[in-house]
Structure 1
Amino acid sequence: MKFAYKFSNLLGAVYRQGNLNFSKDGNAVISPVGNRISIFDLKNNTSETLPISTTKNITCVGLSPDGNLAIVVDEDGAALLVSLITRAVLHHFHFHKPVSSIRFSHDGRKFIVTKGNVALMYHAPGKQREFNAFVLDKSYYGPYDETTCIDWTDDSKCFVVGSKDMSTWVFGAERWANLICYSLGGHKDLIVGCFFEQDSLDLYTVSQDGTLCIWESNTELDGLVLQKHKDKPKPRRQDEEEEEEEDMGEKEEGEVIRGTAETPKSKDETKHVRYKQRSKHFFNKEGDFNNLTAAAFHKPTHILVTAFASGIFHLHELPEFNLIHSLSISDQRIASVAFNSSGDWIAFGCSRMGQLLVWEWQSESYVFKQQGHFNNMAALAYSPDGQYIVTGGDDGKVKVWNTNSGHCFVTFTEHSSSITGVTFTSSGFVIISASLDGTVRAFDLHRYRNFRTFTSPRPAQFSSLAVDVSGELVSAGAQDSFEIFLWSMQTGRLLEVLGGHEGPVSSLCFSPVQSILASASWDRTIRLWDMLDSWQVKETLRLTSDGLCVTYRPDGQELAVATLNGEISFWNPQTAAQTGSLAGRHDLQTGRKDTDKITAKQSAKGKSFTSLCYSADGESVLAGGQSKFVCIYNVKEQMLVKKFEISCNLSFDAMEEFLDRRKMTEFGSLALVDEGAGDGDEVNISLPGVRRGDMSSRHFKPEIKVSSLRFSPTGRSWAATTTEGLLVYSLDSSLVFDPYDLDLDVTPTSIRKQLRLQQWVSAIVLAFRLNEKDLKQEVLETVPHDQIPVVCGSLPDVYVEKLLGFVAQCLEASSHLQFYMTWAQNLLMLHGQKLKNRSGSILPTLQALQKSIQRHFDNLSKLCDFNMYNIRYAVALSKQRGVKRPAEEEEEEDEGLSEEMSEASLDDSEMIL
């Protein structure tokens, strides 16, 4: 129960590849991120990553018209039917080939899937329980090359499919007598988008070379006539029809419609659907490289948005082709475009930069603008209250994320090379970062600026970073000169250069209670430096292998060290004695890379943990390294407690334990053959220690690994920077039942009986012994406000800490701010001295309380400032009008203004409550 951490959110990556979708109400963007789906709520400024994942990166997502279902397809064609209400997987299906696009009909009864040069129409899963959720209805053959895009008519009678063979095909969803299929040409490049006009069969087609063709049909939607069958089929029972549908779904066999360029001949040629090209338009191009990459059309407003490889997008009004707006939002290729339901917002996704933008074209302003790290993340740190996370990446950027909203609110770009370490000072308003560019920089979170830059006398590459508890000393270790540099935060001057290590300094850590610096190095030693005694070496701890990471326990009474041989050793810093060790090499279970010539079992012998951190209570240690697993160890028992698999994405390298037999050829592994030179004798294997891989190779697969780990100061979550992004795991308290000192008399009935007798203290004690969240909240909110000081004063000491932690948890989401603040104030005032004696165990609870209070303070301060500015504006406006108008009109206006302000204040008070 204590380690029931579950995946909670994915930060640091907002878009990778695939198509974007808006929710039904148009307030949220659904974005594929690797093999996961993230939902960004633009109205409430929050983000959520669904607890589902595919086996490979997602390529396309289809959303049902009611917004309740989504079909997610990965690179291999494996599909998941996901409920967006329950966040659960309802059905698994495999299309056996890569799927280019997927689209539901407007009535929600069918959906089209295009794979290769075939368009497959399936019955959409209904509300009844079915044997097979995906039942194939018809197969449409027409294009000679791969299909690219789909669109339906508003009445779901017909659909259009674009192809790479420069043709566009119009098919009937039913057996229409005057339209079976129709082929349109006129383009010289592959079709990027094809769209029906609203309530019409008229078409717009857009190709990659920047050409727009407008097609006019001679038939309205009402003019489609159903084809009559010669032989009337015999009536069948319902169970026979269901059996036939099940057989069709199992065999994936449906009605096959093969398209030709001509429609069938009949006596009355005028009834057949015909198209003629009404006009042809060309977009302004800057060069041959500026291809049109994505397009979207909003039917009610007749607005077409087209995006290009240079990062430019155009807005045109159709069919007149009037340019409304043109803007460059990026310098990279825009991969996906989507309109929301009202047509006010446009979402853009740039896969190379990992950008997701939402643009309001009428006001010409950004609604949402987020970008993850371009390369791998290298380091992370929690703020002291656990509200923010700072990350540093190989792209030289330092980003700060809000853990509540999941959004990045500031990015610092002063570094010119990879970030190797980031940390917060004890105040929580200063961020320190170290980089391979030879600088250590300090950033201010009040003014969002770089106010200190620390450098060394000779250029050095800093590989580790640490700041003392007071925030006055900044230290960084160099990997080329084997030295440790100390600076003063106040003056920015270099105080001392600590020499003595005979190898690169891999990790630094200050003691939380003393001015002692611990440094780990590749020379197989841990050195403890006394900051108060002329920066001399206090102790030297000898290791069995190269030191990779060192960290202090929160009370400063223990050291944990990770070494190159895969072990974690524990030391007492006062006596310099080793207290225990863990052999964690077998827990890593690394996978085999495609280019490895040795097995995964042999490769694991060279793996080790590269990141360590203690839990908030100091009883456990979290470890991760070059593996897809993160391990939690109990320090006292020296055993593995739990192991988390951070990813199941096979698009990453080193995920599978054994080689895939489908990739084996007579010449060996397919990856080695592809990476080889022209004659096939030499193989370009990446050098040992290369972290990013060779980006110039034909097949680039990043290797899965964990570069940094941190526990939240509140103890309720932990975060890891991985190849996939910044993963946050948190406790799901709603599912945890953990009673304390349970007895037969402790029942909900007896607790409510004590409430009726107004025995508040005994009711609270019984509720906390049963330890059920809803019941505890009921008991606490039943206590009268004036009785809170009396209850807090007579509460047993054992339950003070438990009650304070529960108050901090409720305060985070409750609207009864004053009520729970009164509880917290009385508990701290009456039991402050007793809590101070247990400062080590109570610290996570106090930090959780501080996080909750700070969050409410930030939200309410913004609301109060907004109301204050509105009132000032209203008063200034009334005075300005009062000068120009008579006194009588001024009095009437003031009365109306006071009524409006009173209504506004009531609305604001409702928002606060």
Structure 2
Amino acid sequence: MKFAYRFSNLLGTVYRCGNLNFTCDGNSVISPVGNRVTVFDLKNNKSNTLPLATRYNIKCVGLSPDGRLAIIVDEGGDALLVSLVCRSVLHHFHFKGAVHSVSFSPDGRKFVVTKGNIAQVYHAPGRKREFNAFVLDKTYFGPYDETTCIDWTDDSRCFAVGSRDMSTWVFGAERWDNLIYYALGGHKDAIVACFFEASSLDLYTLSQDGALCVWQCDTLPEGLRLKAPTGWKADLLQREEEQEEEEGAESETTIRGKATPAAEEQQGKVKYSRVAKYFFNKEGDFNNLTAAAYHKKVHLLVTGFASGIFHLHELPEFNLIHSLSISDQRVASVAINSSGDWIAFGCSGLGQLLVWEWQSESYVLKQQGHFNSMVSLAYSPDGQYIVTGGDDGKVKVWNTLSGFCFVTFTEHSSGVTGVTFTTTGYVIVTSSMDGTVRAFDLHRYRNFRTFTSPRPTQFSCVAVDSSGEIVSAGAQDSFEVFIWSMQTGRLLDVLSGHEGPISGLCFNPMKSVLASASWDRTVHLWDMADSWRTTETLALTSDALAVTFRPDGAELAVATLNSQITFWDPENAVQTGSIEGRHDLKTGRKELDKITAKHSAKGKAFTTLCYSADGQSILAGGMSKFVCIYHVREQILRKKFEISCNLSLDAMEEFLNRRKMTEFGNLALIDQDAAEEGGVAIPLPGVKKGDMSSRHFKPEIRVTSLRFSPTGRCWAATTTEGLLIYSLDAQMLFDPFELDTSVTPVRIRAALRQRDFTRAILLAFRLNERKLLQETLEAVPWDEIEVISSSLPDLYVEKVLEFLASSFEVSHHLEFYLIWTQKLLMVHGQKLKSRVGTLLPAVQFLQKSIQRHLDDVSKLCDWNRYNLQYALAVSKQRGLKRPSEPLGSEEEAGASEDDDDDSLHLLGGGPGHADAPLA
């Protein structure tokens, strides 16, 4: 239970590639993020990533009409049937080829998959358990080039498929006699989107060169006739008819309600005619149309272009409603919600997701991750916020509860190398390659202090002491450590002594001692209280890459280039242990590697370390897809987490794919650049991010920073995929403590009936079942809480505090649990001081939960206070206008009362609708 961490959420990446979808209620956006799917709940202001992953990046997502099921297809053609209700995978399937788009029929009985130049219709999976959930119904041929888009008619009788060969094909989902297939031309570029009109076969087609064709059909959907069966089906029906005739049926029979062949011959085939053609690029500037969406009820067409501009048109008149530029990058996907009010845009170049309310011309959601990879992260002291820094020079602050970024600082002009919070939690300090260290205020969201060095230097790391008064940063080129005062911003001292770049800094949480790790194979300990002199120098066997203190300051951990983690006693400068991590890193083989993964792992190491909240374990990650938790004292591996299974990233597979091997060697090495000398372009040693100019650029999986939450219930990692958060699995219910045969739910409830509350609480915590714990604590009368608290043993106080902290997140009994918390801390406060180290995570978890309630209640109180002031001001204004004039009639009196009621109706409506976060 202690290390049952599971993937919880993905922050920092909101959109990568694929198509966006709104849920059927229109309140949530489903966005593909790499090989995962994130659901952004716009009404409740939360984002959540589904705990599932595909083998490659997701190419398309198809949503069922009832919003219960989703088909997720990756770039390799592997599909997952996912239940959005229970958030789990129901079925796996492989389409044997790259799939471009998936679309359910409006009745939910079928879905179409386009791959290559064909379209395949499958029976949609039902609600019953089936051996094969995907059953192929028909395969449709017609286009000569790759298919690009799908759209269904409202009655699910026909669907249209667009292609890169500039044609659009209309197919019948059933065996219609007057519509088998119909090809539409008229375009001079690839088809981007096609849409049917509501309750009609009329069609709109849009091509990449910005042309819109309006097609009118001469047949209504009800005019489609089922084709008479042929072959063995016709013989079977003929036998049935003969049997009916023998029984004396004289009436003229039709084949199951279908039209007779004579009637079919009289009626003609379905015909289309083009009634209009419009162009988006009227000024003559060439701007490719890249994405489109159409709302059939309000006749709203939204088109996105390669320049980042989008247009809103009303069809079929093609009236321009709105035009706006959202970025300078290509709009990759567009979606409209069910009411037609909100429009979602995805820009893959920037990793940006926007939701735009076109009637009020305002953003409902505006989120963007780091343009380049994240480098560092830090938790706030209460665990509510995470700050991240990236190579793009941005500093972003994320709310761990909502998963949204609520502020972005862009003052740095180069990559951010380190971020940290002060102990107050309201100041963020960052270091950057631009030669500055900056302090940001989370109250006013501004850069209030900038620290610089006498001569320009690049800072590689930053640290702030426990008082928040001393800021230190390590230089990458001058090998010095700079010390500034937070209050004055003045440079206090420059610590020299290292002979290599500074790779890590960390302050002792309990003393004014600074540890600095360097590539010169040493760690220096500097005493801040004694003129910043060097107290100790720890000699290492290899270059130091990361350094961190244990939460109680009694131990120091250093990660080195030879894949080792060494532990030191900072008081006596003695090494107390070491962990060999080379075998646990298990790196994969890159496509361009000429050596095996086993030999390439010799050059890999841990680059980031973090102690757990209780200091008994250490979390390590680095040049690998694995994150390891080690037991410090026993020096053994407790658990290993694989942060990604996405094969679209490099260095994921341990062995080369046999299909990529030819008689001349690895196909990737041959195709890379045959014109170069030797025929192979090998990246430079140590290059982690690859060559950006290469056509075959694939980012390499890396863990750049790790941090445990102060509450100890979750940890976060900045990786190539984004900001991953792992939290304790709440589904594991049975985790007893000192259990014996006398502890049963029956005895606990018997103790409650006898009003022996202390014994009931002790038994309940030994059984450790959440519902029983809640029942036991809530059975205690509020006026007896102080007496019961004083009778609890010290060992159980910590467990009660942890339970209270977790209960604050879900329970409505706020005052009752606050009384419990107050009495426990007041009664046991002096005794708990001796166990500060073990109790700190529980107290911080408690603080985080109470702080969240404080923020919510304070917003509600402010909202009500302002509305009451407004209501009083309105009533005074009316009283001043007519101080002695009586109301003329009962109607006027009723009207004035209604007006006052309307102004007071606002009292409860404030915090219910949270503002959309802007980043």
Q: CA deviation at 1:562?
A: 0.5
> For 1:112 and 1:680, how far apart are their aligned partners in 2?
48
Superposed, which structure 2 residues align to 1:43-58 within 5 Å? 43-58=43-58
Contact kept, 8 Å, 1:617 with 1:841, in 2: the verdict is yes
> For 1:270 and 1:876, how far apart are their aligned partners in 2?
74
Deviations 1:336-385 (A, max 9, x none): 00000111000000001000000000110000110001111100000000
Contact kept, 8 Å, 1:878 with 1:894, in 2: the verdict is no
Superposed, which structure 2 residues align to 1:814-833 within 5 Å? 814-833=811-830
Aligned counterpart in structure 1 of residue 445 of structure 2, from 428, 445, 448: 448
Pairing 1:634–2:604 present: no
Contact kept, 8 Å, 1:354 with 1:371, in 2: the verdict is yes
Aligned counterpart in structure 1 of residue 585 of structure 2, from 583, 588, 607: 588
> For 1:16 and 1:199, how far apart are their aligned partners in 2?
34
3-state secondary structure, aligned to 2:19? coil
Pairing 1:549–2:546 present: yes
3-state secondary structure, aligned to 2:752? helix
Counterpart amino acid of residue 400 in structure 1: V
Counterpart amino acid of residue 14 in structure 2: V
Pairing 1:280–2:280 present: no
Pairing 1:713–2:710 present: yes
> For 1:909 and 1:794, how far apart are their aligned partners in 2?
41
Contact kept, 8 Å, 1:475 with 1:485, in 2: the verdict is yes
Q: Which residue of 1 aligns with 2:391?
A: 394
Q: CA deviation at 1:857?
A: 1.4
3-state secondary structure, aligned to 1:594? coil
Q: Which residue of 2 aligns with 1:26?
A: 26
Q: CA deviation at 1:799?
A: 1.0
Deviations 1:24-73 (A, max 9, x none): 11100000000000000000011110111000000000000000000000
Superposed, which structure 2 residues align to 1:887-902 within 5 Å? 887-888=886-887, 892=894, 895-896=897-898
Query: Quick one: percent identity of the two aligned structures?
Result: 71
Counterpart amino acid of residue 540 in structure 1: T
CA gap 1:124/1:855 in 2 versus in 1, 3 angstroms: same
> For 1:911 and 1:119, how far apart are their aligned partners in 2?
43
Q: Which residue of 2 aligns with 1:343?
A: 340
Aligned counterpart in structure 1 of residue 656 of structure 2, from 655, 659, 675: 659
Q: TM-score, normalised by structure 1?
A: 0.95
Pairing 1:76–2:72 present: no
Taking only aligned residues, the RMSD between alpha carbons, in angstroms, comes to: 2.0
Deviations 1:663-717 (A, max 9, x none): 1123321221222241562422221222321111011100001000000000000
Contact kept, 8 Å, 1:673 with 1:680, in 2: the verdict is no
Q: CA deviation at 1:864?
A: 2.3
Superposed, which structure 2 residues align to 1:103-142 within 5 Å? 103-142=103-142
> For 2:443 and 2:343, how far apart are their aligned partners in 1?
32
CA gap 1:171/1:909 in 2 versus in 1, 3 angstroms: closer
Contact kept, 8 Å, 1:527 with 1:537, in 2: the verdict is yes
Q: CA deviation at 1:828?
A: 0.9
3-state secondary structure, aligned to 2:233? coil
Aligned counterpart in structure 2 of residue 861 of structure 1, from 858, 862, 875: 858
Unaligned 5+ residue runs, structure 1? 238-263
Pairing 1:146–2:146 present: yes
CA gap 1:775/1:768 in 2 versus in 1, 3 angstroms: same
3-state secondary structure, aligned to 1:545? coil
Contact kept, 8 Å, 2:7 with 2:724, in 1: the verdict is yes
Counterpart amino acid of residue 370 in structure 1: Q
Q: Which moved more, 1:285-294 or 1:407-416?
A: 285-294
Q: Which residue of 1 aligns with 2:258?
A: none
Contact kept, 8 Å, 2:43 with 2:913, in 1: the verdict is no
Q: Which residue of 2 aligns with 1:221?
A: 221
Superposed, which structure 2 residues align to 1:329-408 within 5 Å? 329-408=326-405
Contact kept, 8 Å, 1:210 with 1:285, in 2: the verdict is no
Counterpart amino acid of residue 136 in structure 1: L
CA gap 1:820/1:638 in 2 versus in 1, 3 angstroms: same
Q: Which moved more, 1:368-377 or 1:282-291?
A: 282-291
3-state secondary structure, aligned to 1:140? strand
Contact kept, 8 Å, 1:593 with 1:655, in 2: the verdict is yes
3-state secondary structure, aligned to 2:731? helix
Q: Which moved more, 1:736-745 or 1:700-709?
A: 736-745
3-state secondary structure, aligned to 1:100? strand
Q: CA deviation at 1:892?
A: 4.6
Deviations 1:786-828 (A, max 9, x none): 2211211222222111111110111122221111111111111
Aligned counterpart in structure 1 of residue 698 of structure 2, from 656, 681, 701: 701
Contact kept, 8 Å, 2:860 with 2:911, in 1: the verdict is no
Q: CA deviation at 1:168?
A: 0.4
Superposed, which structure 2 residues align to 1:211-290 within 5 Å? 211-230=211-230, 233=233, 271-284=268-281, 289-290=286-287
CA gap 1:527/1:267 in 2 versus in 1, 3 angstroms: closer
Deviations 1:282-302 (A, max 9, x none): 113666552100000000000
Q: CA deviation at 1:657?
A: 0.5
Counterpart amino acid of residue 652 in structure 1: L
> For 2:71 and 2:236, how far apart are their aligned partners in 1?
32
> For 1:529 and 1:589, how far apart are their aligned partners in 2?
36
Q: CA deviation at 1:866?
A: 2.4
Contact kept, 8 Å, 2:864 with 2:908, in 1: the verdict is no
CA gap 1:180/1:903 in 2 versus in 1, 3 angstroms: same
Q: Which residue of 1 aligns with 2:42?
A: 42
Superposed, which structure 2 residues align to 1:362-761 within 5 Å? 362-678=359-675, 681-761=678-758
Q: CA deviation at 1:774?
A: 1.1
> For 2:724 and 2:909, how far apart are their aligned partners in 1?
38
Unaligned 5+ residue runs, structure 2? 238-260, 915-919
Q: Which residue of 1 aligns with 2:187?
A: 187
Contact kept, 8 Å, 1:289 with 1:309, in 2: the verdict is no
Q: Which residue of 2 aligns with 1:157?
A: 157
Counterpart amino acid of residue 21 in structure 2: N
Contact kept, 8 Å, 1:148 with 1:164, in 2: the verdict is yes
Q: CA deviation at 1:99?
A: 0.5
Counterpart amino acid of residue 553 in structure 1: R
Q: CA deviation at 1:269?
A: 7.3
Q: CA deviation at 1:867?
A: 2.5
Counterpart amino acid of residue 174 in structure 1: E
Q: CA deviation at 1:863?
A: 2.2
Q: Which residue of 2 aligns with 1:253?
A: none
CA gap 1:300/1:516 in 2 versus in 1, 3 angstroms: same
> For 1:88 and 1:787, how far apart are their aligned partners in 2?
45
Aligned residues: 886
> For 1:828 and 1:513, how far apart are their aligned partners in 2?
23
> For 1:231 and 1:679, how far apart are their aligned partners in 2?
62
Q: Which residue of 1 aligns with 2:257?
A: none
Contact kept, 8 Å, 2:867 with 2:907, in 1: the verdict is no
Counterpart amino acid of residue 414 in structure 2: S
Counterpart amino acid of residue 45 in structure 1: N
Q: CA deviation at 1:876?
A: 3.2
Contact kept, 8 Å, 2:485 with 2:492, in 1: the verdict is yes
CA gap 1:495/1:216 in 2 versus in 1, 3 angstroms: same
Q: CA deviation at 1:270?
A: 5.5
Q: Which residue of 1 aligns with 2:805?
A: 808
CA gap 1:907/1:35 in 2 versus in 1, 3 angstroms: closer
Deviations 1:219-244 (A, max 9, x none): 1111111111245728999xxxxxxx
CA gap 1:909/1:666 in 2 versus in 1, 3 angstroms: closer
3-state secondary structure, aligned to 2:683? coil
Counterpart amino acid of residue 587 in structure 2: T
Contact kept, 8 Å, 2:417 with 2:433, in 1: the verdict is yes
Contact kept, 8 Å, 2:871 with 2:904, in 1: the verdict is no
> For 1:269 and 1:615, how far apart are their aligned partners in 2?
81
Q: Which moved more, 1:901-910 or 1:92-101?
A: 901-910
> For 2:304 and 2:909, how far apart are their aligned partners in 1?
41
